[in-house]
Amino acid sequence: MFTGIIEAIGTVRRLEPRGGDLRLTVATGKLDLRDVKLGDSIATNGVCLTVVEQGSDYYVADVSGETVRRSTLASFRVGQRVNLEKALTPTTRLGGHLVSGHVDGIGEVISMQPDARSIRYRVKAPDELAKYIAEKGSITTDGISLTVNAIDGAIFDLNIVPHTVGETNIADWAPGVRLNLEVDILARYLERLLLGDRAAQSQAASAGGITLSFLAENGYGHG
């Protein structure tokens, strides 16, 4: 688990395709690796990766085909800056929100404009994720815990203060840039919980998920 508070900006050092999978080497910048050992997790642009090899200023991770397909890792390039965070410990301050490092979908920056000293970004999420994104709720964007300032359908606004820009790779964002999105973990589990016995059915049998009629049938209607 992670907090979404970025500890360092790393740089992609090497990409090695391996029969549908990928081996990734990341130079870690100011990230302190003294307490990192083989098998530990490091969130890389929001993707939880397992360290399989390391040096004093880098780590290596194997990336499965599933992770490549579900994230922006397929478009990584050598020299690209990436957000890094080590897995939290029992003594870590939870400054952001609980983040699993499991990407739910890929969003795209559609606009950016100054807002006083901040920058307001508009991001388009996949339609199927829109129901999990709430105004003033939390969302993880390239590993960064951020607050949703406004939402319109599947498009949400982020107001980024100068400190966050300086401590992350947000300075590299521009219209057209694709971002790893992870919705609030509580929203995903709440939907599954509300399905009750229907959760055991196949996706085809339970198509439609949570609807107004489903809620009414299960006692969640107006009193």
For the chain, domains (ranges, CATH) are 8-86 (2.40.30.20), 186-217 (no CATH)
Q: What is the largest CA-CA distance in the chain?
A: 62
Task: State pLDDT tens for residues 31-55.
Answer: 999 999 999 999 999 999 999 999 9
Lowest-confidence segment of 37-46, 63-72, 85-94, 206-215 by average pLDDT: 206-215
Residue 215 has pLDDT above 90, yes or no: no
- Over residues 77-111, the pLDDT tens digits come to 999 999 999 998 777 777 778 888 999 999 999 99
* pTM score, whole prediction: 0.85
User: To the nearest whole percent, how much of the chain has pLDDT over 70?
Assistant: 90
Contact 54, 36 (CB under 8 A): yes
% the chain with pLDDT above 90: 73
- Residue spans of beta strands (DSSP E) within the chain: 8-18, 21-27, 41-44, 47-54, 58-63, 81-86, 105-115, 118-124, 138-141, 144-147, 150-152, 155-160, 178-183
